[in-house]
Amino acid sequence: MGMSILNEQDYYRIVYGGWLGKNIGGTLGAPVEGKKELLDLTFYPELPDGPLENDDLDLQLVWLHALEQYGPGLTARELGKEWMEHVFFPFDEYGYALSNLRRGLIPPVAGSFNNPFADCMGSPIRSEIWAMTAPGAPERAAYYAYQDAIVDHAGGEGVYGEMFFAAIESAVFFETDRDRLIEIGMCYIPADCRTAKALRDLIRWHQEGQSWTEARELILEHHGSDNFTDAPQNIAFTILGWLYGENFEDAILKAVNCGYDTDCTAATLAAILGMILGPEGLPDKWVKPVGDRVVVSPPIKGFPAPKNLDELTRRTIRMGKQILAAWDTDIVVLADRPTAWSDRGAQEHAVRELWDRTATANLYLLPQGTMRDADLELVIEYGAEGPAIGAGGKKLLSVKLTNRSTVPLMGALALELPEGWESSSPLRVSLQPGDSTEWEAEVQASAAPASYHELAISWTRLHDGSVWSVEKVPFTLIGASRWTVRGPAGGEGVPVDFPGNRLDWGKALGNAGTGTYRAETSMFLPSDRNIRLIAAANGPVSMKLNGETVVDCKETLEFMPAYHRAPGQQLTELRLTAGTHKIEVEAYGDADSLQVFVLPVSQRETEQPGPFYFYTDVIFGS
């Protein structure tokens, strides 16, 4: 592949057009977000103050700040740090990821553990920043999109959706043919993922002559979900607008009128088309009402956000130049030379290994802080139940150490534990370059319950028979929730530790058939507080608190274990004193399919930092 030139003015035009399109689409779709019926929008709502705030753009402003702080070596770990500092959204996967990050987990485990929203749209909407800072390098854009998405969607379709869009948008810099761009995007996601299947079906239905409304119905029939934020259906709606749209306006209106996650579908498609057409190609009718302003949601705070699209564009380009140089992309940005692209053939192969990475393990490069060519690679695999351990319980950690250096390395691996814990003996290590060793390390917790526990793996390097250096890698185990459960047959209660907030009767009792399932526990609060206590279920559910019924939902509602939008019939809000409170839950259904999440979160009104955040210090089974 030869050297490619991207003219700086062309770069500015494409990026500005993309951000402008993002503002246009997000403003169009935001007011009808969540409506599942076929819509009939023709224009914006009334806009007295310009564009509407939208997380589709908000989060990318944070990621731009992250790039400016950490540079091209940015990974999911640094993005997680930025999330804790600057993002206080409680929405769905955002809330779960933030809860995990606050307890010391890092991506991808922070994005997968106890997270029922990994298949949703929170990350596909954040793709543009990676495409615009990796212009003409879809492989690199997809890599950054992966690092981003695993913060809150690890193991889910949200990861593939963001990689798909980032690859398309990066390729826009050298390719503008719609069908070729979609083909490029699909090279960067697994062929057997739900997103790819939905897209292939949509393309076939379009080629067969189905109308756009017929294609919409087929998407819902074959790939739909009750959750309006589910990624595969919404990504298909985005591309539907592109396939069936006769122009910019027609395309974004068809996408938004499919309903569901309307701000996301319209914003992403408008961004893609804005990049292709440039700002001069977007209709004044759609541009003038939003103007050049950047509006930031109040829960996004604590950093210097761009004031307008011009500043956002210039800061984006500044980081893009650094990324193109840092990764040896053979793409240079020049002010005095015309854009000239060398052959940008398929580059998906290096990204494929990301598809196979597990969402239940964390990878560390040693020495810590290393970005490339590390001496050692350390992987901690937590297993199917994730990084959870019950009071007095045991946990097997699978640890793998690989010598990535050019010399033999000798030393020892050991665990550093909380007081009263026990573990396997240290492992002596002698590794030739390229070799690996695996250590099955078992830990046993003390009987003292806690919401989370801080541990570390220490790597002691030996040289000439003596200790040369010691490096500690801290990690966290979450305190499991201890409940006593009963099936429809009643009888003696079975004590069980659930790794997260889901009451999984099938795990504890096996398939006990359809009927009423019961669970009880004690909930410890370390301080007086206003609390929203949720029992989100996919069937009839009731909950007692200290013997008084506080939830009595006799209907089967859409399952929605979200902190901010759980059904009102499945939650209660009250003030509780510090100490221990008894909780009893009853739910009706089949053990294998029954889902109940018990969630202690703040109420809407808080001093700081935002509403409906998860109380990470609450202990179930104290």
Annotated binding site for Mg(2+): 261, 263
92 CB burial (10 A radius; 0-12, 13-18, 19+): buried
**Paired tokens of 215:** 């294609």
- Distance between CA atoms of residues 173 and 6, nearest Å: 8
Residue numbers belonging to the annotated binding site: 261, 263
- Distance between CA atoms of residues 422 and 420, nearest Å: 7
**Paired tokens of 429:** 């290590």
Q: List CB contacts of 183: < 8 A, sequence separation 6 or more.
A: none
- Distance between CA atoms of residues 557 and 570, nearest Å: 9
Q: List CB contacts of 248: < 8 A, sequence separation 6 or more.
A: 270, 273, 277, 281, 282, 283, 286
* Ramachandran sector of residue 427 (left: φ over 0; alpha: ψ -120 to 50; beta: rest): beta
Q: What angle do CA 450, 496, 116 make, to 5 degrees?
A: 75
**Paired tokens of 84:** 């804790």
Name the pairing type of β-strands 571-576 and 529-537.
antiparallel
Cβ proximity of 348 and 188 under 8 Å: yes
The DSSP element (H or E) to which 81 belongs, if any, is: helix 76-86
- In one-letter notation, the amino acid at residue 183 is E
**Paired tokens of 203:** 């393309």
The per-residue DSSP string of 531-565 comes to EEEEEEESS-EEEEETTEEEEEE-S-------TTT
Beta bridge partners of 333: 6
Instruction: Say how many CA atoms lie within 13 Å of 77 toward its Cβ.
Output: 12
